[in-house]
Amino acid sequence: MKINRKLFVAVVSLALCLAAWSSAAFAQPAAAPSPKSLAPNVRESKLASKLMAREMSYRVVLPAGYADAKAASTRFSTLYLLHGLTGNFANWTDKTKVAEYALKHNFIVITPDGGNGWYSDSVTVPNDKYESYIVKELIPEIDKNYRTLADRDHRVIAGLSMGGYGGLKFGLKYPELFYLAGSFSGAIGAAEFTEKTAGAIGKSLDAIYGAEGSEGRAANDVFKLVRDLTPEKLKAIPFLYVSCGNEDFLINNNRDFMKLLVEKKVPHEYRQHPGVHDWVFWDDQIREFLSVAARRQKASTGSSSSPAQE
């Protein structure tokens, strides 16, 4: 498969620049509301991160029955849900009905804060280690403080736009941690952007990944991670879920990725629906994705996503 990379980068970089000016495009920052405004099954916490050298906020959405004293020995699967560029940890619970949808499933949903760091370890800012923070600190923190099923067969990761890129990258780089990785409207070609091709957004990515052709770029290039899959690695990676709206400016990027998945025979599900790069599409997708996660768990483990008794 041949992809016109220069044309792709030019088109998407223009769209990203426009997105930075438009409130209808990427997830926008929102002031964290007071605890009184949170749904009854949502908790907000902070982790004193050593890797980030600061406190990192996150929210946890609990499934129905979690707080029931009679279910004190019950353990649940987890779903890590990543926000988009210019967004924050509160976006998913503020802008979608994920707290309501979670009540119909047996997943603890965690929404980390990824800043504008593309869920990667910066090569220039020592304490911007968003990738390592999630893998080495946040996941252990959740498994320690909540009744999780702390294994690969009961852990999922997904996200929107920048977070969609992050969800796929985590799934491909850490297949031992997740049985399913998902992307909604993913900015999957992020590792292609440089200051030369994408202006200010590209410059920020130069600071995160390094110069074009660097090891940092290669390590965070989702397309390359798939192209480099060996038959042995292919057996180990999680099932991938990719979706995008027909009218989304990232649709061609997602179509190219889908073609690569087909070429490499990567187990996946691709959905293309009417829609743009907005919260209407993402709200619908997280509702659908929770059902997909439950179904895929049953397929991978031979059991449903029902909570487990100790």
Q: Is 70 exceeded by the pLDDT of residue 231? A: yes
Dihedral angle computed from the Cα positions of residues 296, 61, 149 and 169, in that order, rounded to the nearest 10 degrees: 60
- How many DSSP H helices and E strands does the chain contain? 12, 10
Q: What is the pLDDT of residue 289?
A: 98
Q: What is the pLDDT of residue 17?
A: 42
Please give the full DSSP string across 210-251, using - where no structure is assigned. -STTSHHHHHT-HHHHHHT--HHHHHHSPEEEEEEETT-TTH
Q: Indicate if the alpha-carbon torsion angle 292, 297, 300, 306 is positive or negative.
A: negative
Find the mean pLDDT for residues 272-299.
95
Q: What is the pLDDT of residue 307?
A: 72
Q: What is the pLDDT of residue 67?
A: 85
Task: Name the average pLDDT for the chain.
Answer: 89
For 15-72, the pLDDT digits (tens) are 554 344 333 344 443 444 444 589 999 999 999 999 999 999 999 999 998 988 677 8
Tokens of 103: 């009540």
- Could you give all domains of the chain from N- to C-terminal order, each with its CATH number? 5-309 (3.40.50.1820)
